[in-house]
Structure 1
């Protein structure tokens, strides 16, 4: 947690396409990070779990006196399907008095945020990799729908002349001059 990241090892957990990767916290506020930190502290301090134990473990179920399954805690085992996680989300939204949003809708939201705040292809590529996508096209094709009203706004914006700041223009000229020098092309006044 020191560098705001979580390591997902495909040897220990069933990641999509068996990929091992590091996920960094997206810039969505410190509250989410703090919830994860508190949960990790609970697992390590109260349950005495280590770094190789699941971060989001399976619920431990037993038969109660009515011969029904009931949760009694958590066990050191990963979930094998996504259905229980969806149920946890559903109950959490219900308890908060909110309409249900499935876990994948949070990924949709993160992509939309990335499209808004990333200013360069490199930034969006890093954003995409952080979602576990090897190629940025996966992010664009799986999540990249632009709402019709936003599509209209963007095209209107692109139709109006864009102002280039002096700083941007200076950087462009420097870059062009470097490329000319590197290609051994001289410019004469």
Structure 2
């Protein structure tokens, strides 16, 4: 049984997150789902009894999980739980002396054995295979062009489905991820994104780009809406619905099935873009440009989140190392100094 007052507090918190913190609708839905675990943990007990409840929340979700949840998902559950408890302590009268800062510091997930997993991303060979897959319909052509553009740009799916035609400039190999154009970027960031110059892939994207420009105004979406009845462009749709990304996922699954490839989410194409750059760019200036293209504030974010190589690539790089051909110590020290300087500040270094 859920305590009704606890349920109201969660509703108040979600409203606060929407109005004051101004988080996205997607984040609100996720947080509300995560906090169901907090409500279940509290049960019929009032929230001021939380510090005395046993098992503690982290142990509760671990036992509840029974290996169903990944370590990353468990981390999100505990983080959402802590944020909610902090909010109650600070914003709701009568709780500050019961939900204390000292207790809040104890809300953490016990150290877990690290999961052995391969970094999932779309490889160069896979994107070429996707680009060469025969298409049978306008819907096929749309998702094929979309997948290729994801790989060439590293754009997030939420931004991509809101991208107007006028935000794509293939003459300059640029995408304008500007909220002022209606593009829904993460945290409302604005940036010009440069595409990787891979001729075969650029030509495929250009064919779709030329088609949508010949049929639709430049204010229409590049991932153009199609009529389910006729399979042709639907000019009547002027706004992106909440399920727009779902359409991309479904079409992508069908395309990957026909390509003979395992399913990769759209975000794994962004990972593929990052890994391709890290493997092929040789200067710090190029890596900084890659990081900026991903709309990251510094290289350490890019490397930490997206930079993990596959086991095969790691082995190939390490086995090819030879002390006889490696940089001299002075050159290596200079490079290390440049890297440390670059990580400490966002100032671009000079190209070599």
TM range (shorter): 0.5 to 0.7
Q: Assess if the C-alpha contact under 8 Å between 1:8 and 1:15 holds in 2.
A: yes
Distance in 2, matches of 1:159 and 1:104, equals 35
Q: TM-score, normalised by structure 2?
A: 0.39
| 1:139 pairs with one of 292, 296, 302 | 302
Alignment partner, residue 175 of structure 1:
none
Q: CA deviation at 1:59?
A: 4.3
Q: Assess if the C-alpha contact under 8 Å between 1:58 and 1:79 holds in 2.
A: no
Mapping of 1:56-71 within 5 angstroms? 56-61=223-228
Alignment partner, residue 77 of structure 1:
239
Between Structure 1 and Structure 2, the one with more strand by share is 1
Distance in 1, matches of 2:296 and 2:317, equals 26
Residues 16, 6 of structure 1: alpha-carbon distance in 2 compared, 3 angstrom cutoff: same
Distance in 2, matches of 1:160 and 1:121, equals 22
Q: Assess if the C-alpha contact under 8 Å between 2:281 and 2:287 holds in 1.
A: yes
Higher relative contact order (CA 8 A, sep 6+): 2
Between Structure 1 and Structure 2, the one with more helix by share is 2
Bigger mean CA offset, 79-88 vs 113-122 = 79-88
Distance in 1, matches of 2:254 and 2:310, equals 29
| 2:200 pairs with one of 31, 35, 53 | 31
Q: Assess if the C-alpha contact under 8 Å between 1:108 and 1:143 holds in 2.
A: yes
Alignment partner, residue 91 of structure 1:
254
Pairwise CA RMSD: 3.0
Q: CA deviation at 1:104?
A: 1.6
Gaps of 5+ in 1: 65-69, 173-189
Alignment partner, residue 4 of structure 1:
173
Q: CA deviation at 1:140?
A: 1.1
Q: TM-score, normalised by structure 1?
A: 0.67
Say which SS state the counterpart of residue 23 (structure 1) adopts: strand
